[in-house]
Structure formats: structure tokens, C-alpha cells
Structure 1
Amino acid sequence: MNASRDGLNQNDRAIAAFTMIAHGIVHWFELAIPIFLVVWIGQFDVSVALLGLIVALGYAPFGLGALPAGLLVDRYGPRRLILACLGGMSASFVLLGFSDSVYAIAVSLTLWGVTASVYHPAGLALISTGVEQRGTVFAWHGIAGNVGIALGPFATATMLLVLEWQHVALVLAVPGILATVYGFRARFDPTAALERDGGDDSGGTLSLSELVSNSRTLFASTFLLVFAIVTVVGLYYRGVLTYLPEILNGVPAMDGIAPPGDLMEFSLGDYFYVWLLVAGMAGQYVAGKLTSRVPVARGLAAIFVALGLLAVAFVPVASMGLLPILLFCGVLGFTLFAIEPFYQESVAVYTPAETRGLSYGYTYLGMFGLGAASISVGGLLLNQFSMEAFFLSLAVIAAAGSVLSVVILARGSSASPRVADVVDRND
């Protein structure tokens, strides 16, 4: 296949388009739910605790379902699973649009969480086995996710100004439906980057013995360290993105400064938070390009060191005024999201292709499942101790990640040859 100016051949570009759309849609739905929660608290005569539990019914499967989703990817192939994910998420929001009770909402959100959990193992497995220029596509894939992260809550909050929340849910389902239709029409080879004859979308069986055997093989290799690193990333990521908006809004420099206009009830800290997410897009792009030039473990170690320094720096920077805080948020966003292409690439480097779905299943179990523990720990530190203690814990987490990365770098071996090393490129 002939490569274009960005280094991607036709198959790479087709997979990139398919996965970028799907990734953006996943986070489009994900970040709309907290905006709805504010409306539900005012509409339904139930406790906030019960509504929080109902929302958790959607978010819990999103992380915990990644492992069984990975198994399904290895059996049925990533393309089918991504289509099922897109269709299921869209159907869940259509169902949400017809919900008139908290119980119906609970069913809708649970359906969303179960179907959404499929995406990351499937999408990343597809990129790792079908794309030759993985780093570039991982970068664009991450940027698309950030677009969904930013647009989902913005679109939801904006539409709620003029529409009932049920109607907003129905409108939000439309891009998911269109993405599903596009996915059925997309054409690409999901195993083009592998030196395998007769590769297709299907894998092995789902037997318990094979699960145990494949898992034992994975965790007896360098993947054990990769899994630990991804869990550490999840702890830092969830802690920062969960509490930073509240922390920014509490910084004295933000006091007395109202956002332009009065339609959106966003404070200045919320705008700074959106800027952090936008800067993250640049971080993902740059890091994605670097994954083909910098050894993945070395890149991870460097980014973890930077994240540790940024955690230590927040408290003094927060007392310096608005411009230093704005610059800090840009650097933090760039660095925080720059780590994503590197840990995704590490899974592709240190796992065999035939268990790639299972590998990414474990990866996102660590990222979104185990990593969510920092939400409760971070809340405890902020409520019972101080902001300094919270950011110190993030620095410790980053230090642990850098140590794990150095251990991988010192080992200097991979569990499987890099796809880029075994395929015959026809540039």
C-alpha cells in the first residue's frame, strides 16, 4: 500500500478514522452523564446518594467490563465488538430518552456501561494489529477521545438550556447512530500489520482453561510491569481529573472573577480545566510521534518524572496568580495525556498479537477499574488532611511509575517482536 504524506497507508487511515470516531463517541456519552446528574438531583425526589449509586452502575462496568471485553475481542475480532459497542451505547441513550423514573435511568446507564466497556480493548487491539504506523494513530486516537471529553459535557449543558433532559439524551444518541452506520460501511484489514497468513477478525475460544493459561503467560512476562504502570497512570489520571476542577475553583486567584455572559454556570476554574483538556490533545499528538523514535520505557520514565514534579509544583504555583496557573494547566494537560500513547504502545510491544484483546482488557481494568481507587483516596486526603497531602500522594504515585518504567528499561527485552520490526512495509 502507498503511504500518504503523514506516513499512513490506506489501511492505516481507514482504521484511524473508524477508531477515532468510535473513541470520541465513547467519551461523548461518558462525560454527558455527570451533567445529567445535576438535573436528576433537582427533578427526582430521591437522595443524592441513591442517584450517585445509579450513576455508578454505568461507570463501574465501564472499567470492570474491560477484561471480559478483551476476551470477546480475541474470540470475535475487534471490528464486530466496536460496532456492538457503538450500537449498544446509542441504544442505551435512546432508552434513557424515554426514561421517566430513576429505575429506568439505572437500566439505561447500566446498559451504557456494559457496552462502553468493550471499546478500549477492541479499539486498541485493532490499532495494534492492523496499523503499521501505530504511534501516529495512537496519537490521533487519543486526540479524538479528548474531543469527545470536551464536547460531551459542553453540548449537553448547552442543549439543556432549551430542551428537556430526555430530549437531550435522544439528540446525543444521534452521533452514535451515525457512527454505527459508518462503521458498517468502513473497509480495512484488521490484521494488516502482522506477518501472519490468513489472519482475520476471529480468535480462539473463551474456555476457562485458556483464560487462565493466557493470563499466566501474560503476567509471567514483562506485561506484569506494564499492567502495574497502567494502574499507576489510572491512579494519577483519575485523581487529577476528578478533583482538579473543584481545586481550581477554590484557588484564591479565581475569587471574584465571573465568566463572560450568564448563560452557562461555569466558573473561571472550569474554563482553565477545559484548557487543560485542549492542551492534552497536543500532548497526545507529540507523544504519539515520539513512540516511534524513543524506547517506550524511557518515554514512560521521563513523563512520570515530569508528572511528579508538576504535582509538587501545584501548591506554590497556585499562589502566583492567574497567568502562572493557566500556564501550569497547559503543561499538566500536555504531560498527563502525553503518557497515553506510550502506555498503549507498551502493551503492543510487550504482548503477543494473539492475546492482544485480553492484554488491553487487563490494561483498562487497571486504568479505569483499579485506577478509580484514587477517587476515594483523593477525597479522603482533601477532606481530612489538605490539598498539599493530595498532591504529595500524586507525586508518590508518579515516582512509583518512574521506578517501574526504569525496571522495564533495565530488562531491555520484549515479550513479542514489535509489529514494525516484522512487517514488510511497502511505502
Structure 2
Amino acid sequence: MVTISGAHALIHATELAYAALLLRIEAEFGTDLLLLGVLANVGGFAFGLAALPSGFLVDRLGSVRVLQLTLAGSSVAALLVALSPSEIVLGVTLALLGLTTGLYHPAGFALLARTKRRTRNVGLHGVIGNLGVAIAPVLLSGIALASDWRVAYVTLSALAVVGLLYALRLPRGGALSMGPGLGSPEAGVADVGAGEVGDGVAGPEPAGAGRATTESVPKTASGRRRLARLWWIPLAVVYLANVIQGFVYRGSVTFIPTHIEEQITGSLLGVSGTGLAGALTTVALLGGALGWYVGGILADRLPRYPLVMATWMATVPMLLAISASDGGLLIVMTFIFVVTNFAMAPALVTLIADYSPPGRMGSSFGMMFFLSFGLGSFAATLAGFTADEWGVDAVFLVLAAVNGGGALLSASVFFLTRASHRQPGAHAVLP
């Protein structure tokens, strides 16, 4: 699991590299923020789009093979990004990088969904992934300051090769040990290939997982048939939550580094400008790791969808505060926003595992990450347009409006359809 989680960190560091290097790329090509936002949209959409074929491949080839393909492809693509001579070529290579790195999530999460303490393990896996998100700004901006933004992508390419060498040692079948600190020794996970994904999740669910009572299931045959026809509705509710969460995630992480660099002035310990902004962005984004960890614990103990709604609504005032803040307060509010935003993620991932059709867990995760990262990528274009017209601080006002509206819509659908919810192996109410 060290290899899998390390790959997760690298994938997210690569995903955030463009945002961390945005101002350096702008300075070289002399383009405006709208075009740079469109390029981020292209890469982000490709990242999400790749989740669809990845889910299909996981169901047929197994997660380990897809993981190896991800690392090999992303190494080549990152090198091509580094060699891009123009904005057009950069857009093409960013799309290729998105397609290769985007293969990861259905493979990684399909593996984790079969562990005994899956919500906790998903949370810990997310912690390590978000360390990649947090480290990327300071590491890559530091490399760019010392040399060039292109060297930062060459570094990512080399790290992907190292990851591939470790991934080639993974077994393609049997159990993968969770390893010390990543779950109990018995919490193994089988590689998932054809005929395995979605057939069941190892181990019992924790007591607080929000299981429905037997009274929730209709006692008549006609009632059960009606629920069988409506099994997809609760899954669609969770997908809707993923679309909005992905939209806000993409829009915020694309412009948080730029917003911090514009708003933070002066120096700290002799560091100023881009270096200081990169370091402070890393501090703020470290909240993602804490959010995944806390979210994993809470999702094991509380009803999951209400937990999602509570954390979702809590992010709205934080986005408003980010827009209006500067200096140290901006770092604090960004940190709290990132913690809260990622705290809903373990519950969302586990709900997808709960309500996937039998034998289609990989495909269900593929759809989830396409909706989250693919459709969410359009936030980069909207954010780029907003930043060009009204300034970077206005980006977070727009994201707050989208987040609040999406949460209210999802809550409405939730209350209208909770009677049709499907538990693993049975139809019941939403937890």
C-alpha cells in the first residue's frame, strides 16, 4: 500500500503542478489568465475523462495493471509538457498528461473499497494523496525559481519512473498488505480484475455507517420491484455531489496559489515573493490531508450523506472569507476551507462503493471521477474568465455561489428520494 499511496501523492502533485507554475508559464508565453484557465480546463477535463476507460480497464485487467500504465504514461506525458514550445502544444501535452494521470483513481479506490476498514483506509490514502497536493507548490515553485518551470515537469517525469519501478513489483493477484500504519495487518486488499470488482466488500461495516432498518424495505413484492427500478436514483444523488465538489475543487486549487501570491507581501525568514507564496500555499493545502483523515473517522461513526451535506454547506462562508482576506488571515481561512472541503471525500467514496451495481465497482468509480474531475474542470475556464474581468478574489465569490446552490439542490433531491435508496445488496433509505 505504500506504493499505491505514494502513486496517489505523485498523481496529485502532477495535477497541481500547472496551478503552482501558472505565473511562471504566464511570464514566458505572455498570455492572459483566461487562456491559461482554458488550458487548465483542457488538462482537468482529460484527467476526468480518463476515469471512464480506466474503470472499464480495472473491471477487466485488474487495478495493478492500470496503476502501472498510469505511471508509465504520466512519465512520458510530463516530459512532453516540459518540451512544449507554444501555448497550443502546451494545451495538447497537458491533455495527454491529464489522460494518463487520470487513469489512477478508479484503480486505486477499487482496491481500497475491498478492504475491511475501507472508510478509514480510504481516508488514510487520501491523507497521503493530499500531501502531494500540499508539497507541490513549494517543491515545484522552488525548482522553477532555481531553474525553470520546465525542469519542474522533468522532475515529475523522473519521479513517475521511480514509482513505476516499484509498481512493477506489485502482485497482480492475491492480497496486498495494508502495511504498518495503514490499517490492521489483517486488512488486506485483493487486486480487482474481471469478475471480482463489486462482488462484495470484505468485512462488516462499522456500527455507525448508517445502515437502514428492516422497516425501510417494502414488505410487498410490488414495493420491492418499484425500488429495484429506482436503485440508480441514490447513486445519481451522490454523483451530483461529486460534480459540484469537483467543480469547486478545480476552481479553487487552480487559483489559490495565484491568489496567495498576489495578496501576500513582505518576507518571512528572508523568503519573499514566489518562494514565500509557494511555502504558504503548501501550509494551506496541508489541510487536505487533515480533512481526509478526520473525514475518514467521522464517516465510520456518522450517517454519511448528512455528513457530506454538513461539511459541504460549511465551505460556503469559508470561500467568501478567502475572497475578502489577505495576509495571515487568508492562509488561516484557506487552511480551514481545505480541511472542510476534503472532509466530505471519504464519505462520498464509500457511498459510491455501497451503491455500485454488482460487478461494476471499477466502472462506478470511473464515472465518479469523470464527473468530479472531468465536468469539474470547466471551473478553470469560468475562474479564468472571472479573474480576467473582476480579479482573482472574485473567483471565490463565484465558487461560493456554485457550492451553495449545488448543496441546496443535492439536499432537495436527497429528501425527495431517500425512500428509494439502495444499501449494499438491498434497497433501503439513504443513511
Name the structure 2 match of 1:236. 248
Judge conservation of contact 2:231–2:420 (CA < 8 Å) in 1: no
- 1:298-326 per-position Cα deviation (integer Å, ceiling 9, x unaligned): 2112212322343455567x3xx755544
Judge conservation of contact 2:35–2:384 (CA < 8 Å) in 1: no
- 1:168-197 per-position Cα deviation (integer Å, ceiling 9, x unaligned): 43332222111111112124636999xxxx
Please point out which of 201, 207, 211 is paired with 2:193.
201
Name the structure 2 match of 1:58. 43
Name the structure 1 match of 2:238. 226
Distance change in 2, residues 1:94/1:326 (3 Å): closer
Distance change in 2, residues 1:125/1:287 (3 Å): same
Judge conservation of contact 1:20–1:144 (CA < 8 Å) in 2: yes
Name the structure 2 match of 1:5. none
Name the structure 2 match of 1:332. 337
The answer to which of 180-189 and 258-267 deviates more is: 258-267
Letter in 1 for 2:108: G
Distance change in 2, residues 1:140/1:368 (3 Å): same
Name the structure 2 match of 1:362. 367
Give, in angstroms, the shift of residue 199 of structure 1. 8.7
Partner of 1:185: helix, strand, or coil?
A: coil
Aligned length: 379
Please point out which of 96, 105, 113 is paired with 1:111.
96
Partner of 1:352: helix, strand, or coil?
A: coil
Judge conservation of contact 2:322–2:334 (CA < 8 Å) in 1: no
Cα RMSD after superposing both structures: 3.7
C-alpha distance in structure 1 between counterparts of 2:96 and 2:14, whole Å: 12
Give, in angstroms, the shift of residue 146 of structure 1. 1.2
Letter in 1 for 2:99: V
Distance change in 2, residues 1:62/1:190 (3 Å): farther
Name the structure 2 match of 1:7. none
Name the structure 2 match of 1:181. 165
Please point out which of 358, 375, 378 is paired with 1:373.
378
Distance change in 2, residues 1:161/1:200 (3 Å): closer
C-alpha distance in structure 2 between counterparts of 1:104 and 1:310, whole Å: 37
Judge conservation of contact 2:51–2:369 (CA < 8 Å) in 1: yes
**1:23-42 residue pairs with structure 2 within 5 A?**
23-35=8-20, 38-42=23-27
Please point out which of 406, 409, 417 is paired with 1:400.
409
Give, in angstroms, the shift of residue 86 of structure 1. 0.8
Distance change in 2, residues 1:393/1:93 (3 Å): closer
Distance change in 2, residues 1:407/1:286 (3 Å): farther
Letter in 2 for 1:239: G
Please point out which of 122, 127, 130 is paired with 1:146.
130
Name the structure 2 match of 1:341. 346
Name the structure 1 match of 2:267. 258
Give, in angstroms, the shift of residue 111 of structure 1. 2.8
Letter in 2 for 1:395: G
Distance change in 2, residues 1:406/1:234 (3 Å): farther
Letter in 1 for 2:144: L
C-alpha distance in structure 2 between counterparts of 1:85 and 1:232, whole Å: 26
Partner of 1:32: helix, strand, or coil?
A: helix
**1:288-307 residue pairs with structure 2 within 5 A?**
288-307=296-315
C-alpha distance in structure 2 between counterparts of 1:364 and 1:76, whole Å: 19
Please point out which of 119, 132, 153 is paired with 1:135.
119
Give % identity: 25
Give, in angstroms, the shift of residue 233 of structure 1. 1.1
Distance change in 2, residues 1:370/1:218 (3 Å): farther
The answer to which of 329-338 and 303-312 deviates more is: 303-312
Give, in angstroms, the shift of residue 85 of structure 1. 0.4
The answer to which of 278-287 and 91-100 deviates more is: 91-100
Please point out which of 143, 156, 164 is paired with 1:172.
156
Q: 1:276 aligned to 2:284?
A: yes
C-alpha distance in structure 2 between counterparts of 1:222 and 1:192, whole Å: 32
Distance change in 2, residues 1:83/1:219 (3 Å): farther
Partner of 1:354: helix, strand, or coil?
A: coil
**1:16-27 residue pairs with structure 2 within 5 A?**
16-27=1-12
TM-score, structure 2 length as denominator? 0.74
Judge conservation of contact 1:304–1:402 (CA < 8 Å) in 2: no
Letter in 1 for 2:246: G
**1:316-327 residue pairs with structure 2 within 5 A?**
318=325, 322=327, 324-327=329-332
TM-score, structure 1 length as denominator? 0.75
Name the structure 2 match of 1:159. 143
Q: 1:123 aligned to 2:117?
A: no
For structure 2, the residue ranges without an aligned partner over 5 or more in a row are 179-189, 197-227, 427-431
For structure 1, the residue ranges without an aligned partner over 5 or more in a row are 1-15, 205-215, 419-427
Give, in angstroms, the shift of residue 281 of structure 1. 1.1
Partner of 2:344: helix, strand, or coil?
A: helix
The answer to which of 99-108 and 298-307 deviates more is: 99-108
Partner of 1:291: helix, strand, or coil?
A: helix
Give, in angstroms, the shift of residue 283 of structure 1. 1.4
